[in-house]
Structure 1
Amino acid sequence: MTKKTKIFAYYLPQFHTIPENDSVWGEGFTEWTNVKKAKKLFKEHYQPRVPLDKNYYTLTDKNKIYWQMDLAKNHGVDGFAIYHYWYNGKKLLEKPLEIIRDNSELDLPIMIIWANHDWNNGWSAEGKIQTLYTVDYSDKNDWKLHFEYLLSFFKLPNYLKENNQPMLGIYEPDKIPNLNELISYWNELAIEQGFDGIRFSYQAISKFKADGQSRDKFKYQIEYQPQYAWKKLDSSSKKSNLIGILKKIPSMKSILKKYVKIRPNSLVKKRRYEEVAQEIVSMREKDDKSIAGFYVGWDNTPRKKSRGTVDVGSTPAVFQKFLINQLENISSNYSNQYLFLFAWNEWAEGGYLEPDEKYGYQYLEAIKKAREITGK
C-alpha cells in the first residue's frame, strides 16, 4: 500500500499588529500593508494581489484561523509549519500560535520552525540594515525558558510527532555557536517530560555547513524551495557562462534577459517558474535526511520593490502539473513521505494558497486534484 504524502505548508503569523512593528514601519503595520501597496512593474507582472472578497484578515481572530484550517483539511494540506520568533524571552508574533494552543477545535496538525534569524529591517532598508532583535545563545537559563514555552505546544495532540518525538525546525542552525550543547540539553529536557527526545530539522537552502557531529544531531534537512533550487540553477548557470566566455561567445544578452529595468540603477530579477519547478522535481536526494519541498510561486516586490525577485509563469494548472511530478518523485526517490510547501500565506512573497480575486480557490483545488490523480 502506497504511503500518503504529508503536505505541510509554511505559515506566516505576521497578520496582526504588534508594537514592535508599529515602531519601525508605522502604526497598524501587518503583512497586508506591503501587499496593498504593491505595484505592477512590468507587462506580465501579477500585482497587486488581492485576497478573495478582500479578506484582509487579522490572526488574532480564532475564527479566521479556523477558516484557514478548514480550507487546508478540505483541499489536501495536512498541516502548517508555523514560524516562531524568540529573542531571549522576547516573543514576537506569538498570538496565532498561542490561539491554536489554547483552542482545541483548532486541531490541524502543526509544527514549529524557530525563525532564529535576526529581526531587522533588511527587506525594506535602502541603506544600512538596522538589527532590532538578536539572540544571545550563551544564556543557558534562556535555553530552559525557551524549552518550557515550546513544551506547551509539544504536548498538544495535534503537534507533529514521530516515534514520540516532537518535530522542531531551526531556520539557521549555523548561527548557533553552541549548537550541539543546546540540542543535547533540549533532548534531555524532552525525555524528562516523557518524550523520546526531539526530532530536529533545519531549513536547507544549501547543504548544512556545520561539522558532521552537529549535522548528525538533525533528523531531517528540509529543502526550502524555491531558494534551494535557485542555488543549484545559479551554480549551473555560472559554469555555463564560464564556458561561454572561454569560447568567446557573448553572454550579456542572456544574463540581462533575467532582469527588467524599472528605473535607472534598479533592477528586478525575473525567473521562469517552469524552469525552477522542473529543477525541483528532478532532484534525486538519496540522503535519508532530506525532506522534499515545492512552491506555489515567488514575488517579493511587495516588500523589496525594485530590488525584488519575481518568478513568472505560475498558474494553478502549471502548479498542479509539477506538483503531480513532485509527489511521484517523493514516492520514488525520498526515504520519507513529507512535502514542505511554500506557502500557505506568504502574500508579500508571492507564495500563498489562500484564495485571491484572480484565481479563487484554484491553487487549493490543484492540490486536491494532484493527490487524487497520484493517490499520494
Structure 2
Amino acid sequence: MTELTTDASFMAFSGLNESGSHDTAVVRDASKLIAFYLPQFHRVAENSEWWGPGFTEWMNVARGRPNFVGHYQPHIPRELGFYDLSQTAVIAEQAELARLYGIHGFCFYHYWFSGRRILERPAENFLKSDININFCLCWANENWTRTWDGDTKSVLLEQKYAEDDAENFIESLIEYFQDSRYIKVNGKPLLVVYRAKQIPDPKKTFAKWRELAKQHGFSDLHIAVVDFYDISSPEECAADALVEFPPHKFNSRKSVPENPPKVVNPEFTGNLVDYHKMIAQSANRPTPPFTLYRGIIPSWDNTARRQNTPTIVVNANPDLYQEWLSFLRTYTRQESKGAENFIFINAWNEWGEGCHLEPDQKWGLSYLEATLRSSFYHPSNPATESLAAAREALFAKTEELILVQHGKQITDEAEARATGLALARYRPPNPIVQQFSAILIKWPFVHRIAKRVYSMISHIRG
C-alpha cells in the first residue's frame, strides 16, 4: 500500500523537491526492508575457548588496520557504542532505531548444529520481550572455522546433518514461528537458508519441513534460499524464493576498480571490489522467471577478520547506496508479480565485515537516513515507475556521483548520461564460471590455479 505525503519537514529532509516544483505530493514505497542481524556481540563459552577469554566480535572490529591509502579502518560505532547483545535493552534500542528509519524487520542468523545451539541468547531474549519489530530467522548452516568462511579446514564446529535433523530443527523453531512478530507470507513463516546446497538432499529436507509446519497448524513454510555461488534458482532445491546476497556473486575479476588505491600493507593479498560496478551488475541483472528477493549492501570490508587477505569494497558511500536502494525499490514494485515485496539488506550490524547500517564514527546516521529517503518518490517521475527509466537514471546519477567524488563537475544531464554508458554496458560474471569456482573451492590449491588461469584468459580477451 502506498501513502501520499506533503509534509514540509519531510520534503526539506528528503531533497525530493529541490527542483523548486510546487508539486510536493510524494508516495511512500511499500517494499519491506529486512536486515540481516548478527548475534555475535556477547560472550559465549565456545568463543572464549577458541579465541581467548571474553572474546566477542568487537575484539576483531577494534583491531582492523588500513591496508591502503584512504582505507577506512577500524570501524568504530557511534550512537549504540560497543554494546552487549545479552542485554535485551540493547536489542530494544536497535529495533527503535531500525523502525525509525524504515526497516521492516531483522533476520537473525540462527546457528544450529544437530541440536546444538550457539549465539542463541539475543533471539531468545527478543522472543521473551515485547520489542516492537518484525523478525525472521536465517539458518546459517555453515561450518564454524578459524578463517570465518565456512571452509572444511580448521573446523571449530561442524555441520553434520544427522538423520533426524530435519524434524528436530523445525520442532525447535515452532515457538518462533508462532510469535505474532514473525514475518510470514500469506500465513507461512519465512525461513531463510544460507547454504541450501550443503544440505545432503535439500528437496527431501524441505518437504519434511513443510509437512512438520502443517502439523503445527501452518499452511506451509515460505523457504527462501540465499543466492550462493552454487545455486541459480530456488527450483534446484524446491524452495520458494532466492535471496540476493551481495557481495556473493558480485566479487569477480570483472568487478575490480579501474583505479585501485595505493596499498601500504606489504602483506596484503586481498581482493578489491568496486561499488560502482556492483551497482551496475545489480541493475543489469535480468528479471528471472522465479521469485527473487533483491539484496543490497551499504559496503563490505572484512579486514577486521582477515587483515591481510580480506575482500574490500571501495568507493561505497551513503549517496550511492541510496540510489541503488531506490532502484531496487522500483524493481520490486514492477517485478514482484504478486510475491512479497521484500528487499534484504546485508546487514544491520556486521561490524567485523564493514557491513552495517548502524551508525559509526565516519558516516554517522547517513546510511540510515539514505534508507529512509529512498522510500519516498514522485509518482510522476518515469524513473520511479519504469524499470528501464529507473536503470537509465541510476547509471546517470551514479556516474555523476563518481565525477563529483573525483572533484569534477557535471554541467548537464546529457553529459551525466553519456558518462554512464560504461556502467550501462557492464555485465555480471558468467554464472557457469561461478558455479565451477564454487565446486573447486573445496580444493584450495586447484582453485587458486584455476582462478589464475581464468584471470589470464580474461585479461587477454580484454
What's the TM-score once normalised by structure 1's chain length? Answer: 0.86
Q: Which residue of 2 aligns with 1:244?
A: none
- Pick from 123, 129, 146 the counterpart of residue 121 of structure 1: 146
- Pick from 156, 159, 167 the counterpart of residue 132 of structure 1: 156
Q: Which residue of 2 aligns with 1:372?
A: 376
Separation in 1 of the partners of 2:283 and 2:258? 26
Other structure's SS at 1:230 match = coil
Amino acid at match of 2:243: I
Moved over 6 A (4+): none
Q: Which residue of 1 aligns with 2:119?
A: 93
Instruction: Quote the offset at 1:156 in angstroms.
Output: 0.4
Q: Which residue of 2 aligns with 1:14?
A: 40
Instruction: Quote the offset at 1:289 in angstroms.
Output: 2.2
1:339-350 superposed matches below 5 A = 339-350=343-354
Q: Which residue of 1 aligns with 2:304?
A: 302
1:52-67 superposed matches below 5 A = 52=78, 55-67=81-93
Instruction: Quote the offset at 1:145 in angstroms.
Output: 2.5
Q: Higher relative contact order at CA 8 Å, sep ≥6: structure 1 or structure 2?
A: 1
CA contact (8 A) 1:323 1:367 kept: yes
Q: 1:151 to 1:54 in 2, by over 3 A?
A: closer
Which of the pair is proportionally richer in strand? Answer: 1
CA contact (8 A) 1:259 1:267 kept: no
Instruction: Quote the offset at 1:53 in angstroms.
Output: 5.1
Separation in 1 of the partners of 2:135 and 2:260? 37
Q: Taking every aligned residue pair, what percent have the same amino acid on both sides?
A: 29
Instruction: Quote the offset at 1:210 in angstroms.
Output: 8.9
Instruction: Quote the offset at 1:226 in angstroms.
Output: 2.1
CA contact (8 A) 2:36 2:344 kept: yes
Instruction: Quote the offset at 1:280 in angstroms.
Output: 1.3
Amino acid at match of 2:226: Q
1:152-301 superposed matches below 5 A = 152-206=175-229, 208=231, 214-215=236-237, 217-231=238-252, 234=253, 237=254, 261-264=263-266, 266-301=268-303
Other structure's SS at 1:306 match = coil
Amino acid at match of 1:304: R
Separation in 2 of the partners of 1:205 and 1:143? 21
Amino acid at match of 1:286: P
Amino acid at match of 1:146: F
1:16-55 superposed matches below 5 A = 16-52=42-78, 55=81
CA contact (8 A) 1:174 1:209 kept: no
CA contact (8 A) 1:294 1:341 kept: yes
Q: Which residue of 2 aligns with 1:109?
A: 134
Separation in 1 of the partners of 2:335 and 2:187? 26
Instruction: Quote the offset at 1:22 in angstroms.
Output: 0.9
- Pick from 357, 378, 390 the counterpart of residue 353 of structure 1: 357
* Greater shift in the superposed pair: 315-324 or 361-370: 315-324
- Pick from 315, 318, 327 the counterpart of residue 317 of structure 2: 315
* Greater shift in the superposed pair: 192-201 or 260-269: 260-269
Separation in 1 of the partners of 2:149 and 2:297? 23
Name the larger-Rg structure: 2
Other structure's SS at 2:368 match = helix
CA contact (8 A) 1:18 1:93 kept: yes
Separation in 2 of the partners of 1:260 and 1:43? 6
Separation in 1 of the partners of 2:39 and 2:272? 27
Instruction: Quote the offset at 1:85 in angstroms.
Output: 0.5
Instruction: Quote the offset at 1:138 in angstroms.
Output: 3.3
- Pick from 90, 103, 107 the counterpart of residue 81 of structure 1: 107
Separation in 1 of the partners of 2:208 and 2:357? 37
Separation in 2 of the partners of 1:225 and 1:79? 19
Cα shift readout 1:71-97 (whole Å, capped 9, x = no counterpart): 111101101111100111110100011
Other structure's SS at 1:278 match = helix
Other structure's SS at 1:266 match = coil
Amino acid at match of 2:306: K
Instruction: Quote the offset at 1:301 in angstroms.
Output: 0.6
User: For structure 2, which runs of at least 5 residues remain unmatched after alignment?
Assistant: 3-28, 385-462
Q: 1:89 to 1:283 in 2, by over 3 A?
A: same
CA contact (8 A) 1:206 1:228 kept: yes
